[in-house]
Structure 1
Amino acid sequence: MGTAPESSFELRIAFILQNKFTLAAFSGFIDALRLAADDAAKSRQIRVGWDVYSLTGGQVAASCGVAVATMPGLPDPKGYDYVAICGGNSYADDTPAPALMQLIKLAHTQGVGLLGICTGSFALARAGLVDERRYCIHWNVMEAFKSRFPRAQISLDRIFIDEGDVITCAGSTAAIDLALYIIVRHCGSERARQVMRHMMMTSMRPASVPQAHFFQLPPDGTDTRVRKALHFMEQQLDQPPNNLAIARYCSISLRQLERLFRANLNQTLGQAFRSMRLNYGRYLLLGGSLSVMEIAHITGFADTAHFSREFRKAFGETPSAFRALSRRPSAEIGSEERGAVREAAI
C-alpha cells in the first residue's frame, strides 16, 4: 500500500473507486472538497486534500462510461481522516475482493472514518461492519442489500447516516450534502457556505431529508417474491406494468402472487400498487408544472376523474385542493395540514 504524505490539511480523504461507480456521487463529493480546499477557488489542495485510488490502478470506468485516472496501489489509511468507498452498478458482483476487505478492516482498526458512497456501502457490509449500525441505502438497491445482509438495519428515510465510525450515503446528489456535512465538521461552517455559494446551492440538506420512494417497507419475513414484486413496481412507476407483467417478473402465476400479497401484506396486488401510485402522484403534485391530467396519466390511472376519485378516497381531498394547500405560505397552514404536506414529500 502507498503512503500518504504528512500534511497540515484540515481534512484528507482517500477515495476508492469501484468498477462502474456512480459518477454524480463521486464528482459532487470531490467537487465540494475542491471548493473548500482553496480560498481563491483555484482547486489547490491547501486546506483539504484527497487522493483517488482503485483496486486495479490506472483508469476506472464509471457506470456512464466516463473513465477516471486513479493512483497505483492502495493507500495507507492512517494518512487520512476518511476512506471513501465509491460504488455504483457493480454492487451485485459478490466476488471477494481481498485487498479491499483488508483495506476497510485496517482503516477501521486504525480509527479512520469509513464512508460508503452510493453502493460502496455493500463493500463495508461485506467487510463485516454490520453489527448494530444503521445503513443508508438507496431505495433502488434496498432488496439487493437486504438479501445479502439480513442482519443490517436499513434506512430509506434519510439521505445519509452517521454511525460514528461508518457513514453511509444514498448516493447521487446526496453525496454533496454528505461532503458539506463533513466539511462543516473539519473546516467550519463558513468553509461550507463558500462551497455552497460556488455550487449555486441555497442550503445544505440535513441527513434527515427522506428519499423519494413511494412504498411502505415490507415487514421482516415477507416472502422474497413479494419483495421482488414491490421493487419492480417501484422501478416502473412512470410506466406502470399490468399485474400479469409483475407476476411474470417474479416467475410465478398471477394467482400465486395474489395469494402471497394477501398472506404477507393483507392487501391485493392491485391495492398495493394503487397505494404506491397515489403516493407518487401526491409527490408530483408538490412541485413542477405537470397538470393533474398529466400526473394521472403518468401514474397509470384511466383519466383525471379516476385519479381524483382514488386520490380523495386515500387522502381526503382532491389533487387540486392538495396542490393549492402545498403552495400556500407555511405561516398560513395549520399543523395538521403542514403534516400532510410534509408526509407527501417523502
Structure 2
Amino acid sequence: MKRPETSLDAFHEGRQKLRVGILVLDNFTLNAFSGFIDALRLAADTGGRSRQIECGWVIMGHGPVRASCGLSITPDAEPMDPGRFDYIAVAGGNDYPQRAQPAWLTRYLQQADAAGVRLVGLCTGTFNIARAGLMEGRTACVHWNVHDEFRSQFPNVRALSDRIFFDAGDRITCAGSTGAPDLALHLIGRHCGPERAQQSLRHMVLSNQRDASFPQAQFAEETRSLRDSVVRRAILIMEQTLDAPISLEDLASRLGISPRHLSRRFTESLGQSPSRYYRFLRVRYGAWRLVHSTERVSEVATEAGFSDASHFLREFKQVYGTTPARYRKALDGARRGAPGGGQGGGGSAPAGGPGSGR
C-alpha cells in the first residue's frame, strides 16, 4: 500500500512562492491552526486539489500533540532548518498561562530570528515568541480574552486587542480564531498575488478578505468609533469581567488613573458613568445568553454578574422594557415564525442601549 503523501513530501518537491513552517504546540486551538493552513492549501493549487505548488508548508513539532478540543495530530517533521522558510508560525493554545516553555522551542525561535526569518504568532503563539525574548519593545496583537494575561507576563510589549492581526514586518501577530485565515490571505496576496488570495477566498465561501485593522468582534460594538484609548481599554476590561464585576476603584487602578478621571472621560465619550455602562454591558450579555442558551433566568443572572435574579430583572426591564422571561419567549416565537426558523439567532448581541427602552 502506498504511503499517504505528507506536507513534508510535497514541500520538498519545489521552491514555492510562499513557504511556511508551522510549529504546533500541545493544547493548540484548532480553529486558528486549521484556518491558517486551509487558506494556504486552497491558494496553493487549482480546484482545491491541495498540491503544494504556489504555497508550501510543513507542520513541525516533537511528537503527537492534542488540540484544546481533544483532536490529536502528529507533525510531519521535527523542526527543520528555519532558513528554508519565509515564515515560521507558532500555533499556540490554552497553555498560555504557563510562564515557561520547552527549551527547544526558545532555541529554535531564536535561531529563526538570527537567520532573518519572519515570525508569526497564531492565537497565543505570540506568548511563545515573547517568552523567547523576541518581542521586547514591540507591539503584539492578541485576543481580547487574553489581553490582561499577556500584559501581565510581558509588560515591555505593547498589546493591541482592537484588530485581528498586526504586521510589523519581521513579527506578525494574530488574535487567532477566524482572524487566522485573513492573515494567511494577507501573506498569500503578498507572495503569490491577489488572484491566488481571491481563489482561496472563493473556496472558503467568504465574501471578502478582512484587513488587519478589522476590529475583533466583541459585545461592545460601539467602542469601534471611540477615540479615547483609555475608555476603550476600560470597556475591554469590563467585557473580560462580566461574570465577576470589579469596582470602579479597581478598574481605574488597572488603567493607572483615578476613578474621578475615569468617570470624566467616560462621560465625555459615552455620556454616562462607567458604572452605568458596566451594568448595561452585563444586561446585554444576559440578553444574549437568554437567546442563545436554555439556562434558567437565575443562572443567566449569575453568568452576567448579578447577585440574584431580582436584581437582574430590575436592570433588564430598564434596558429592554420587559422581563427576561417575556423577552426570551418573544424572540423564540419570532424565530419559529420566521422563514428558516429554528436555525438560531445569529451571533450578535441583542440590540438596545442604556435607557433605550428596547
The change in CA–CA distance for 1:116 and 1:277 in structure 2 (over 3 A counts) is: farther
2:259 to 255, 265, 286: 265
Query: 2:332 aligns to what?
Result: none
- How much has 1:177 moved relative to structure 2? 0.5
Structure 2 counterpart SS, 1:182: helix
- How much has 1:304 moved relative to structure 2? 5.4
Query: 2:110 aligns to what?
Result: 105
Query: 1:311 aligns to what?
Result: 353
- How much has 1:6 moved relative to structure 2? 7.2
After TM superposition, the structure 1 = structure 2 runs for residues 104-253 of structure 1, keeping only pairs within 5 Å, are 104-213=109-218, 214=220, 231=237, 234-235=239-240, 237=242, 240-241=243-244
**Uncovered stretches (5+) of structure 2, i.e. residues with no partner:** 1-7, 264-272, 305-311, 322-351
Distance 1:158 1:284 in 2: 25
Output the amino acid matched with 1:311. Answer: G
Query: 1:11 aligns to what?
Result: 18
The change in CA–CA distance for 1:100 and 1:262 in structure 2 (over 3 A counts) is: closer
Distance 1:164 1:71 in 2: 27
After TM superposition, the structure 1 = structure 2 runs for residues 319-330 of structure 1, keeping only pairs within 5 Å, are none
- Contact 1:14 / 1:82 at 8 angstroms: preserved in 2? yes
Output the amino acid matched with 2:277. Answer: S
The change in CA–CA distance for 1:100 and 1:196 in structure 2 (over 3 A counts) is: same
- Contact 1:5 / 1:79 at 8 angstroms: preserved in 2? no
Correspondence 1:42 to 2:84: no
Structure 1 counterpart SS, 2:314: coil
Alpha-carbon RMSD? 3.7
Distance 1:63 1:88 in 2: 7
The change in CA–CA distance for 1:50 and 1:207 in structure 2 (over 3 A counts) is: same
- Contact 1:25 / 1:173 at 8 angstroms: preserved in 2? yes
The change in CA–CA distance for 1:6 and 1:80 in structure 2 (over 3 A counts) is: farther
- How much has 1:99 moved relative to structure 2? 0.9
Output the amino acid matched with 1:7. Answer: G
- Contact 1:301 / 1:307 at 8 angstroms: preserved in 2? no
Distance 1:89 1:186 in 2: 31
- Contact 1:24 / 1:172 at 8 angstroms: preserved in 2? yes
Distance 1:147 1:217 in 2: 19
Output the amino acid matched with 2:318. Answer: H
- How much has 1:301 moved relative to structure 2? 6.1
Distance 1:48 1:262 in 2: 48
Query: 1:334 aligns to what?
Result: none
Distance 2:118 2:97 in 1: 24
Query: 2:342 aligns to what?
Result: none
- How much has 1:105 moved relative to structure 2? 1.0
- Contact 1:36 / 1:195 at 8 angstroms: preserved in 2? yes
- Contact 2:141 / 2:165 at 8 angstroms: preserved in 1? yes
- Contact 1:6 / 1:79 at 8 angstroms: preserved in 2? no
- Contact 1:218 / 1:265 at 8 angstroms: preserved in 2? no
Output the amino acid matched with 2:106. Answer: M
- How much has 1:40 moved relative to structure 2? 2.8
Distance 1:20 1:283 in 2: 28
The change in CA–CA distance for 1:304 and 1:92 in structure 2 (over 3 A counts) is: closer
Output the amino acid matched with 2:319. Answer: F
Query: 2:89 aligns to what?
Result: 84
Query: 1:332 aligns to what?
Result: none
Query: 1:251 aligns to what?
Result: none
- How much has 1:106 moved relative to structure 2? 1.1
- Contact 2:162 / 2:216 at 8 angstroms: preserved in 1? yes
- Contact 1:121 / 1:168 at 8 angstroms: preserved in 2? yes
Correspondence 1:65 to 2:70: yes
The change in CA–CA distance for 1:319 and 1:194 in structure 2 (over 3 A counts) is: farther
- How much has 1:5 moved relative to structure 2? 3.9
Structure 2 counterpart SS, 1:311: coil
The change in CA–CA distance for 1:281 and 1:29 in structure 2 (over 3 A counts) is: farther
Over the matched positions of the two proteins, sequence identity in percent amounts to: 40
